[in-house]
Structure 1
């Protein structure tokens, strides 16, 4: 199992944070998602990993799902939430199987393991992506039952490379949306 950092609040409500391949829980989107969750009284379990070289997308999906299941199975909380960024969104089938609410930041909308789960989910779900991200599919996102935040021009990091001030504004919008979503859970 991957390394984990735990931040305690309400032990009855636990959020599992799954990073991207190169986007750790210390990076801004996940750091502030953790801050929102803690402010809203959730315990946060961060998963830190160094993904292995996997032969194909099915193997990557299986590996991420295994990491998510291992983290979830350690919890005895009454309420669980999954939060994932990019590679971490391969855990979407786990959220569907367990009927868990989820926050998916830059979901890999071109991957069948992810898209199948996104279209099947009935639990509260937030999808956040940018129109400048080749892995984002706004039409697919809007066709689901999920709440969707689509950022014009934002890349896979939900930033605009030529405009760091705009990137900070995007971060604020994402954090405010995550806060509103978590407040309704």
Structure 2
């Protein structure tokens, strides 16, 4: 395995990224879009990376890691530009033709934008606690034309039962509601139940 740590420069920011590469470059890449405070090293994304690397995919982690005060003033266009700068740099001279996106929370804002791009029109996508109260994320899931997996927590403040039920009508998406889990898809004050929930989620990622 080869690990590349680098950064890309957008008009407004420098964005770090990490690529985990196999010795012989495959044609498949998984792209990780973390949450605002939920990094690529947090359980759901860390284990998802391991699953896809073991499947033969290279792994690209977009590590924007914005400070809280920075996020408050971050526009959608600047966020898209930051992610796009990483994708352009990481994918230049590559031969990838098969893509999977895995996004958590804030990362689903970027995913809702990039999943419609021609270069990713066949990409599969995993949406972990998507911000479905936002119209862009909601509409992206409602109209998703490729295979998707959407997992939400029942007591997550970003969960909306009406919009989630609408998303469930999209036959391209496997939609999973985990009752009693929070925005991290864990149970408050119950470590063992949280570990079990994460294990079940990873089983769904493996099957996906």
Instruction: Report the TM-score, using the length of structure 1 for normalisation.
Output: 0.88
Post-superposition CA distance 1:9-36 (Å, at most 9, x none): 3531011101100000000000001011
Q: CA deviation at 1:64?
A: 3.4
Q: CA deviation at 1:71?
A: 3.2
Over aligned residue pairs, what C-alpha RMSD do you find?
1.7
2:71 aligned with 1:53:
yes
Give yes or no for contact 2:26–2:56 (8 Å, CA) kept in 1.
Answer: no
Larger helix share, 1 or 2: 1
Q: CA deviation at 1:70?
A: 2.8
Q: Which runs of 5+ in 2 are unaligned?
A: 1-7, 9-14
2:169 corresponds to which of 135, 143, 152: 143
SS in structure 2 opposite 1:47? strand
Q: Which has the larger radius of gyration?
A: 2
Per the alignment, do residues 111 and 27 of structure 1 end up closer, same or farther by CA in structure 2, a change over 3 Å counting?
same
Q: Which residue of 1 aligns with 2:40?
A: 25
How many pairs does the alignment contain? 178
C-alpha distance in structure 1 between counterparts of 2:87 and 2:16, whole Å: 14
Post-superposition CA distance 1:164-183 (Å, at most 9, x none): 111000000110001110xx
Q: Which residue of 1 aligns with 2:4?
A: none
Relative contact order, higher structure (CA 8 A, sep 6+): 1
2:192 aligned with 1:168:
no
Superposition map of 1:54-133 within 5 A: 54-55=72-73, 59=75, 61-73=76-88, 74-75=90-91, 76=94, 77-91=96-110, 92-97=112-117, 98-99=120-121, 100-133=123-156
Give yes or no for contact 1:96–1:122 (8 Å, CA) kept in 2.
Answer: no
Instruction: Report the TM-score, using the length of structure 2 for normalisation.
Output: 0.79
Per the alignment, do residues 14 and 175 of structure 1 end up closer, same or farther by CA in structure 2, a change over 3 Å counting?
same
Q: Which runs of 5+ in 1 are unaligned?
A: none
SS in structure 2 opposite 1:67? helix
**Runs of 4 or more above 2 Å deviation:** 50-56, 61-74
Give yes or no for contact 1:96–1:123 (8 Å, CA) kept in 2.
Answer: no
